[in-house]
Amino acid sequence: MRMVDLYIGINETKWNHHPVDPGPLACISPVYGASVRTKQENQVRVPSNTAIIQDSGAFCDGPGERLDFKTAYERQVEHADKYGYTNQVTHIASYDLLIDEKWQDGQRQKERWTEQEAIEAVEETVAAADWLRCHHTDPMVLSAQGVTAKQYLDCTKAVVPMIRECDVLGLGGWCIIGRMPKRMMPVFRDTIRLVIPYIAHRVRWIHIWGVCYAPALGELLWMCDQYGLKLSTDSAGPQRRPAFGEWGYLGWRDNNYQRPPVEIRGLERARHVRATRKWLSRLRETEYYCQPPISDVQLALF
């Protein structure tokens, strides 16, 4: 069985004076920044043998800044051309509307939307997938999302018919699950118990955006294994954590790790990327790889 493929988020041209070293897979957005003030073009440099999923940059576009689908697509194409990675892009992502972050006074906050608020986001996400599949012929990541399991399934049902054999279904809206697991793990479990069986035999590969939280990845991998689905994720965390004096994740965190000297910090970042991939390759051997428990909500849905 395949391991969870990890695409490393890149937003630099060097890692502390050392070459950027994400390994075989990376994820690049044309823009980054957590506020209107700090938002900027993402200046990147990646090895020529690194395969890239190109994100849309939608998470950086706040109220009043959101682009139309054509302009967002052109931003992706122009960014890849400017920074010389066009031929490395294996999949380009649709310009969805995220439901796990809110904007206040020009600052992006990690806060999940309500189900009612998310109706517009789901409609926009489906429309974005439809636009991209009508205007782009190479492989794509077409994303779905929703606040409740049923809303997520409804969105998935609208997106999946657009997906070809070469495309990927993106699972959006879960990047903050590690910050609020008590609130989000129950709805995550309900969602994957509905969505994964539905997409079986319709989709071959799913990509969950921005998740390195072991309990969520372990249960999602278990579900994917039941239906022979490939699973991947992306995160900038593995290449950033050593720069902040952090090593490892839940289950293999080293609390004694110290922020390395600047002379070797970039090398440590690359080493942590390799260690994270090794951990993911053994995820099935951990306690986190298990069948998601059935909740009362799930029983009601059935």
pLDDT at 209: 97
Domains, the chain, in order of start with CATH, read 5-301 (3.20.20)
User: Rounded distance, CA 12 to CA 18, Å?
Assistant: 11
Residues, the chain: 302
Alpha-carbon torsion 210, 211, 217, 219, what sign? negative
**Contact, 191 vs 197, CB < 8 A?**
no
User: Rounded distance, CA 185 to CA 250, Å?
Assistant: 15
User: Rounded distance, CA 234 to CA 226, Å?
Assistant: 22
Q: Which residues contact 38 (CB under 8 A, 6 or more apart)?
A: none
**At residue 302, does pLDDT exceed 70?**
no
User: Rounded distance, CA 137 to CA 132, Å?
Assistant: 9
**How many of the other CB atoms lie within 10 Å of CB of 31?**
20
Q: What is the mean pLDDT of residues 182-206?
A: 96
Read off the amino acid at residue 147: V
Using one digit for the tens of pLDDT, what is the confidence trace for 108-128?
Answer: 556 566 777 778 889 999 999
Using one digit for the tens of pLDDT, what is the confidence trace for 25-54?
Answer: 999 999 987 666 778 999 999 999 999 999
Whole-structure pTM value = 0.93
pLDDT band at 136 (very low <50, low <70, confident <90, very high): very high
